[in-house]
A and B are shown apart, each in its own frame.
Chain A
């Protein structure tokens, strides 16, 4: 495994508390990743397409993994997912949905849009750390192999 380049993870989440939880969790597992957090789907798209405040590639490096909350005020995670997976430039980036509810409808819709992994957030923090750690390591590894 090469460590030439720092891994980038883009995380979209409207609830600041949940954003903080993910940040802490990732810090514990993967010390050397660069976590970029946005609070809405629209911001996530702006990031990916380097629009607005994300114009500078230095500010918005291409992510190796995208983590998405589903329910966000303006543009939902599902919309972001659909756009990413339809874009030949972006579709190779693995997308993991972090959902609060285990709703089956959400899950199947996400699957239809081409989600790579769907994680229902557990209440137990340690369990969450463990799960998200495993998922991120696995998808970052695959993403690296493709490069």
Chain B
């Protein structure tokens, strides 16, 4: 046997014992849980032997009653019985006064009233007549006769189901029916066969007989019944019934109640057996029957008070004798389907294995039928193994001899290759004959139940034997006999057995250890895997929060900062560690900013209370250095073990806000620009259009003076438009086109500007004073020059009626931050217009030429260089000063170019 098959064998055995333990536990469980339940109430008929009777002592008894009692006991329930006639007990169940009836034939009429368990017995109907009646054999013979049945009995239902032309009478009990039959009131009684037999025996109504022929179609299945729909009780009964059929209780009860009815009339029973089948049965030294079975049979006979005689003979003859009825019982026969055609087998009292036998040192003992192919085989004639070999087509190789002893002897003589023998008897024969050179195969070829066997139909006898067997099992006699005869042959295997038992224990142990190891290894692997996963998740998360440009804060349920990322430094100026544990609200709840944030704070609180989902708000808060910053706060939350944590993602939107403000300003500028263009361009258009109309008429009237005037106005309008368009073009260029920045001396810029304006300066006799300076500017020389030129041009334009116009220009370094200036002594500006003059198309003086773009252009250039410009004037007629600054990065005081 390989270790694997060894292990498997052990495992199967283990499983079996495990299932046994499980079944035990289950029963225990049921017993414990159901014991407390109230008893089931049932009812028994008073005279339906042997199924249901009431004894003289007033106790309900009978096969069905005991069966119900046993079934419920198996389910841990008690039962109490009420009594009555069939119509009475039936009414009790119909009315729900009882829960179950032990014996109800299942008929179509009863289906709607009751639910039935599976049938535990099928009975056949029979006709009972007086012994002097000879013309009644079948149901048809009852036509026109007076026939009695018990009221409500299956027999009544059966007879009324189809019209047989019978005059049916009913009685309250079966006994009444039979007595009336004997008295000649009826011609026959229709009744269950078994019941009739029993009743006749009990009542001693000797002038009646049961017709020994079943009634066609009157076969009745008997079941327990419950009220229609009572599924709980039905399930209980079905399960209990299964259990007692399985555990042999049913068989025992059946034997007890029915066996006596059918026992053969002959008193002494002849028991047959094989003459040489040790240790089961054989003749001892003095020629007396002996062996395990012989002793068993004697013990059973003693228990059941049977008178027996044991006759052992050649096996095939013994079998023939039983078939012919010369003997009553064979004390040990293996069950086979073929044999069950002829004989009835009792419960098995032993399991025997058939094995192969070979000469030691020859070929190995075959372990399967396949290995028998081609071998010369020998077996005992009539043995159960022979049928098996024949069925497998091995009969041509098979030689039959009279006994196993003969078969083994011939094997030893070398006349056959292999003998097929029952294992235990073979071992006994080895011992008896001192044969040592025969070896038996370990693997069972055939496993058969060894049982008492009777001729077909002798169920009662079998039941009796069974009863006896049960009894000696119970009183320990069986064990004693078994040990005396058979235990001996199990001895040689002690080492093998030890190994097997060790294996049974060790292998599961090793398996458990292995499983445990595997399990813990898997577990550790899982933990390692998950730990790595968690670690990686952490790293991922950290990478995200570290990379984020936004400040990320997490607040614990107490409102303290529990997490902060590095960008907290960028947004708020705090170190991430610095604010751990601080109250997060303090970052947003500056009292002086409360007014600004009121709307956002209210909204936040509302939303947070409503759903807690991520929401974003714009807030004004404070940097660590005290300056106000605009932030966008996105709020979310997460449920952790300690409670709700709030997550805040804070984005610095100061820059965005600034850009937005700038864009807003640009928009307004653009709006203004469009307005101005629409106004200032339309104005000369109206002039031109109107004077063309006037001109037409003046030409018609030949008004020369007016014609010249009209043309003058038209030309003026055209000039104005031209100026405007030129200036607009220049303005738009200022934004877009910029030359490469370079260092230019301030002096150069001023000089070239003055050169460009040399004409008007000379014409109007303007004195220009340039204050000394030695700076360099870094930028587009053309644009920087434009600033100076436009400012000087402006000063010239608005010189007024000043007799000695003068322009002073230069740079003031006194404040440390260079401030460039262009001052004049011209018409000056009213303070209220100081801002307006830098606007587009703003001309404060109606009689000046130009289009009001010069200063707007200057402002635009200065602001492009991120400088600033302003004007100072003490009022109209008092001259004005334009000051502008440029960033220090563009100014170089070093003159060494």
- A-side residues, CB < 8 A to B, are 14-18, 20-21, 24, 39-40, 71-74, 100-101, 103, 105, 121-126, 128
Hey, which chain B residues are within 8 Å of A105, CB to CB? Answer: 675
The 9 A-B pairs at the shortest CB distance, nearest first, are namely: A125-B693, A14-B846, A125-B690, A17-B687, A101-B679, A21-B690, A17-B713, A73-B844, A123-B689
Hey, which chain B residues are within 8 Å of A24, CB to CB? Answer: 690, 694
Q: Are A17 and B717 in contact (CB under 8 A)?
A: yes
Sample of 5 A–B contacts (CB below 8 Å): A17-B684, A17-B716, A17-B717, A39-B847, A74-B830
Q: Given the interface contacts A17-B716, A17-B717, A101-B675, does A40 sit within 8 Å of B687 by beta carbon?
A: no
Hey, which chain A residues are within 8 Å of B717, CB to CB? Answer: 17
Tell me the residues in window 330-385 of chain B with beta carbons closer than 8 Å to chain A beta carbons: none
Q: Are B844 and A74 in contact (CB under 8 A)?
A: yes
Q: Is B814 in contact with chain A by the CB < 8 A criterion?
A: no
Q: Is B758 in contact with chain A by the CB < 8 A criterion?
A: no
Q: Are B682 and A100 in contact (CB under 8 A)?
A: yes
Q: Is B54 in contact with chain A by the CB < 8 A criterion?
A: no
Q: Are A73 and B845 in contact (CB under 8 A)?
A: yes
Q: Are A18 and B687 in contact (CB under 8 A)?
A: yes
Q: Are A73 and B843 in contact (CB under 8 A)?
A: yes
Closest chain-B Cβ to A23's Cβ sits at a distance in Å of 11
Q: Given the interface contacts A18-B683, A100-B682, A101-B682, does A40 sit within 8 Å of B689 by beta carbon?
A: no
Closest chain-A Cβ to B759's Cβ sits at a distance in Å of 26
Closest chain-A Cβ to B812's Cβ sits at a distance in Å of 30
A101 to B683, CA, bound (A): 8
Q: Are A73 and B687 in contact (CB under 8 A)?
A: no
Q: Given the interface contacts A74-B830, A101-B682, does A124 sit within 8 Å of B846 by beta carbon?
A: no
A111 to B713, CA, bound (A): 32
Q: Are B830 and A21 in contact (CB under 8 A)?
A: no
A128 to B843, CA, bound (A): 26
Q: Given the interface contacts A17-B713, A39-B846, A123-B686, does A103 sit within 8 Å of B693 by beta carbon?
A: no
Q: Which residue of A lies closest to B709 (CB)?
A: A20
Q: Which residue of B lies closest to A25 (CB)?
A: B690
Per-residue interface assignment for chain B, residues 846 to 889, with 1 indicating a CB less than 8 Å from any chain A CB and 0 otherwise: 11000000000000000000000000000000000000000000
Q: Which residue of B lies closest to A70 (CB)?
A: B679
Q: Is B678 in contact with chain A by the CB < 8 A criterion?
A: yes
Hey, which chain B residues are within 8 Å of A71, CB to CB? Answer: 679
Q: Given the interface contacts A125-B693, A125-B694, does A18 sit within 8 Å of B678 by beta carbon?
A: no
Q: Are B846 and A21 in contact (CB under 8 A)?
A: no
Q: Are B846 and A20 in contact (CB under 8 A)?
A: no
Q: Is B731 in contact with chain A by the CB < 8 A criterion?
A: no
Hey, which chain A residues are within 8 Å of B713, CB to CB? Answer: 16-17, 20
Most buried by B among A16, A17, A74, A103: A17
Q: Which residue of B lies closest to A104 (CB)?
A: B675
Closest chain-B Cβ to A21's Cβ sits at a distance in Å of 4
Closest chain-A Cβ to B708's Cβ sits at a distance in Å of 13
Closest chain-B Cβ to A68's Cβ sits at a distance in Å of 15
A100 to B846, CA, bound (A): 16
Cβ-neighbour of B846 out of A73, A103, A121, A125 (below 8 A): A73
A71 to B842, CA, bound (A): 10
Per-residue interface assignment for chain B, residues 818 to 843, with 1 indicating a CB less than 8 Å from any chain A CB and 0 otherwise: 00000000000010000000000001
Q: Are B686 and A21 in contact (CB under 8 A)?
A: yes
Hey, which chain B residues are within 8 Å of A17, CB to CB? Answer: 684, 687, 691, 713, 716-717
Tell me the residues in window 645-675 of chain B with beta carbons closer than 8 Å to chain A beta carbons: 675
Q: Is B41 in contact with chain A by the CB < 8 A criterion?
A: no
Cβ-neighbour of A100 out of B686, B694, B843, B844 (below 8 A): B686
